[in-house]
Amino acid sequence: MEDARALGIIQGAVSDTIFPRIANEETAKGAWEVLQQEYRGDTKVRKVKLQSLRRDFEYTRMGENELLKDYFTRMFDVVNKMKTYGEELPNERIVQKLLISLTKPYDSIVSVIEETKDIETLSVQDVMTSLRAFDQRLERHANSAPEKAFQSLNVGSSNQASASNQKPQWKGKNKKWEGKMYHNSRPNQGNNINAGPRTKQQCKHCDKFHLGECWFKDKPRCHKCNRFRHIMKDCRSKNVQQVNCANQVEE
């Protein structure tokens, strides 16, 4: 009864892929020996596997882009396999392996641990806790760096926008602008930016003082009322007719 109960426990503990290997065993001892021979092997096989695991343990290093938790999982997987094959790994050796196999960003926390803690009595869990806390601080600083960069870009763009939206101020009549350059709203006047302030001259077309080309150039002008846009035969000005009549009466 006890042997059958033990055999049932072993069969229930293995997966479906391993169960066919011990399905024909009638005793718990026979099933156990099959599993032990396959996964642990004899003394010679265990020595060969243990030697390979020792080499992996010595050459295990943290990758440059590897996460700390992933490195812990990879390293302790090797440690557990070594202990399974009978290797005795003292706590001090595992701690030293952790401290010397980390990447350059962890040099500061490693120096603090080595100077303030006793490596011979320090537990593996304490070292892992300190390294995880330091790793979280590194991640927090790494996440805050892009935010500061975006903030600086936003501040720079807002300053440029405010500078571009700033309009030049007018000091007074017939005075210069306080802005960087003088812009004329009419492109057809042909002003030169580098020419400086210009004086108004009397136009030969309309007899008025203004800058640039006259708007009434090449347009018809009435000789009766002295106005543009029509000629004398189409003139309808009453004031001019009255003036002409008064001139004739005086004559």
- Whether 174 shows a pLDDT value over 60: the answer reads no
Rg (CA), the chain: 49
Q: Among 95, 111, 141, where does a domain finish? A: 141
Q: Is the residue at 59 inside a domain?
A: yes
Distance CA 190, CA 213 (A): 8
What's residue 151's pLDDT? 61
Per-residue pLDDT tens for 217-249? 767 777 677 777 677 767 776 555 555 556 666
Q: Among 141, 157, 192, where does a domain finish? A: 141
Q: Is the residue at 227 inside a domain?
A: yes
Domain count, the chain: 2
Q: What number is the average pLDDT over the span 183-190?
A: 46
Q: Is the residue at 126 inside a domain?
A: yes
User: Is the model's pTM score more than 0.95?
Assistant: no
What count of residues does the chain have? 251
Per-residue pLDDT tens for 89-142? 899 999 999 999 999 999 999 999 989 988 888 999 999 999 999 999 888 877
Q: Is the residue at 9 inside a domain?
A: no
Kindly write down the DSSP assignment for every residue of 91-136, as one continuous string.
Answer: HHHHHHHHHHSS-GGGHHHHHHHHHHS-TTT--HHHHHHHHHHHHH
Q: Among 110, 141, 172, where does a domain finish? A: 141
For residues 134 and 218, membership in a common domain is answered with: no
Q: Is the residue at 63 inside a domain?
A: yes
Domain span at 231: 213-246
Residue 33 Cα to chain centre, angstroms? 58
Residue 210: strand pairing partners: 201
